[in-house]
A and B are shown apart, each in its own frame.
Chain A
């Protein structure tokens, strides 16, 4: 088991967002996290990725707890264990595409990062965009640069928040394909999505609702999305 959230809760200003969440991510699997906007998907992903401390509960990475880690150890673990694809890419506008991919190597050097970065850019079809600035890239290209950055240090788990957000269906499928190629004996992927088709492609689907989490099947997925649409329409 690469990641476990054990009875994790999170409260902001008296409002509880997550209630005793149990979640596991194993090597080789892809996990889709679905739920309506505001249900706490990003919060759960932040806690899982060690970006945010839970109000209660425990997070373990590779079977080891993180409570006693100091900031340096926690940061090193975060760099080694997790790669992030943010909802809004978070590329640095003044850095060229290749340099954006290399940002994690500034803080956690691991072997020949330059070579790996070039290989990733090539794999994602960006070999002729190495020296472009983000404003010179399309939305899909930016997303792939963000994905390459997340994969640079070969982290155990890629955490992606709405990776196909703002993408057309074709480009979205390309990005999801690249993401879903990542899990193997040592690696896994967890991603939050509003896209039912993208959610179906995961090995497991987790539904977050009213602060609680449950695993659902593909059949249940359509029902869940239908209910959410009705709730949003009613709101």
Chain B
């Protein structure tokens, strides 16, 4: 039977290749799209978790030139500073439950530590922090010693043997953060006082400190958690409304701007949803095209191969055998297309992280092995159903061919 299937496919090489290629392209596009969608969805979910901070207070002059999504989702260096006293003002604001400050520096060129481009250096206060610690294996409140760093998951390769240099100072990696799909993945974290001291001693930042003042008196951002009791006291009890209200209170502090991280993430999610909907629509059209191609390919079987099928029936093929023959041909084409499509899909997908990284504005967490298996299995099931649907009518038509037709027909081409 397999020989007959092989022979039949070989007889119609161009048709077979066209069908196979159509299926492969559809599978590749669907696969890449699905994996990217999973990666972005996971990234957004992680972002929502990562920003245990409801609000971020940043310098007003930074906000005007800052791309919020880039800031939240990439580890690119950001030089923005304001007086450390802002933290006190923020803490005193109605509705604020907890605050923790961060100080941003940046590593310099490769000779200092980074194997690629300069990375964001984040100084944080371990005692008040609740944002960073969930992503490390350090104990909550454990302060980093001078010379100790925490690195984002994307930087592990830059620190072989967990040693390196930051701004000329030798450092040891104390912990590698879990992948977050956000700016933290490309960042280096140190104790806030250590970062202040290192950057103060670096000549490259002299102009910055001349403008802003002594780094020991500065912070880059204040992360804010809204008080739960304030949320309960808000009309309607909505956390979103309470956050918005606190953001409005904080906006009255001179010289600051307030980022509501959930809003940014929601906006990104909305944009991505629109984008994926359009891409899914295109993929659906492609899938329909491949279904139509497969259906057409086999629909004509019953007529084109009437004499051949009549012969098979005459020599002992049952209707079940004919079903196996036609179904087998469909299975080979679809199976082959599925395999080729998965290979092609992997290739297309591998371009995605680099494209997303270069765009810099998408939270993204690479899907794990289970997600891959799930996508491939779903695609296999989809095309198994497509194949079955495509051959139902042709098989019925083929099985209506009377074996006695073999008596009247001529040689089979």
A46/B404 contact (C-beta < 8 A), A94-B413, A106-B3 known: yes
B411 at the interface (CB under 8 A from A): yes
Enumerate chain A residues within 8 angstroms of B318, measured Cβ to Cβ: 71-72, 74-76, 107
B234 to chain A, nearest CB (A): 73
Q: From A78, which residue of chain B is reached at the shortest CB distance?
A: B316
- A196-210, CB under 8 A of B: which get 1 and which 0? 000000000000000
Interface size class of B (residues with CB under 8 A): 20 to 34
B57 at the interface (CB under 8 A from A): no
Once the chains bind, are B319 and A92 in contact (CB under 8 Å)? no
Once the chains bind, are A90 and B311 in contact (CB under 8 Å)? yes
Enumerate chain A residues within 8 angstroms of B4, measured Cβ to Cβ: 103, 106
Once the chains bind, are A51 and B314 in contact (CB under 8 Å)? yes
Once the chains bind, are A86 and B407 in contact (CB under 8 Å)? yes
Once the chains bind, are A90 and B316 in contact (CB under 8 Å)? no
Q: From B305, which residue of chain A is reached at the shortest CB distance?
A: A92
- A149-164, CB under 8 A of B: which get 1 and which 0? 1000100000001000
Q: Which of A92-118 contact B (CB under 8 A)?
A: 92-95, 99, 103-104, 106-108
CA distance A104 to B312 in the complex (A): 7
B357 at the interface (CB under 8 A from A): no
A104/B315 contact (C-beta < 8 A), A75-B321, A88-B411, A91-B411 known: yes
Enumerate chain A residues within 8 angstroms of B321, measured Cβ to Cβ: 75, 107
A228 to chain B, nearest CB (A): 21
B313 at the interface (CB under 8 A from A): yes
CA distance A80 to B3 in the complex (A): 21
A107/B319 contact (C-beta < 8 A), A42-B407, A51-B404, A52-B404 known: no
A86/B406 contact (C-beta < 8 A), A71-B318, A75-B318, A107-B317 known: yes
CA distance A153 to B402 in the complex (A): 22
Once the chains bind, are B402 and A90 in contact (CB under 8 Å)? no
Once the chains bind, are B407 and A104 in contact (CB under 8 Å)? no
- Which residues of A come within 8 Å of B, CB atoms? 42-43, 45-46, 49, 51-52, 71-72, 74-76, 78-80, 84, 86-95, 99, 103-104, 106-108, 134, 142, 149, 153, 161
Contact partner of B315 among A72, A107, A134, CB < 8 A?
Answer: A107
Chain A-chain B contacts (Cβ-Cβ < 8 Å), number: 102
Q: Which of B155-186 contact A (CB under 8 A)?
A: none
B227 at the interface (CB under 8 A from A): no
B385 at the interface (CB under 8 A from A): no
- B4-16, CB under 8 A of A: which get 1 and which 0? 1001001100000
Contact partner of B316 among A43, A91, A107, CB < 8 A?
Answer: A107
Once the chains bind, are A78 and B407 in contact (CB under 8 Å)? no
CA distance A153 to B321 in the complex (A): 18
B264 at the interface (CB under 8 A from A): no
B409 at the interface (CB under 8 A from A): yes
Enumerate chain B residues within 8 angstroms of A87, measured Cβ to Cβ: 407-408
Once the chains bind, are A104 and B316 in contact (CB under 8 Å)? yes
Contact partner of B411 among A103, A106, A134, CB < 8 A?
Answer: A134
Q: From A153, which residue of chain B is reached at the shortest CB distance?
A: B316
Enumerate chain B residues within 8 angstroms of A107, measured Cβ to Cβ: 1, 312, 315-318, 321
Enumerate chain B residues within 8 angstroms of A91, measured Cβ to Cβ: 411-412
CA distance A166 to B315 in the complex (A): 23
A113 to chain B, nearest CB (A): 12
CA distance A153 to B317 in the complex (A): 13
A78/B314 contact (C-beta < 8 A), A90-B412, A93-B411 known: yes
B211 at the interface (CB under 8 A from A): no
12 A-B pairs besides A80-B316, A90-B314 with CB distance below 8 A are A42-B407, A51-B314, A75-B321, A79-B315, A84-B314, A87-B407, A89-B411, A90-B409, A92-B308, A103-B312, A104-B316, A134-B411
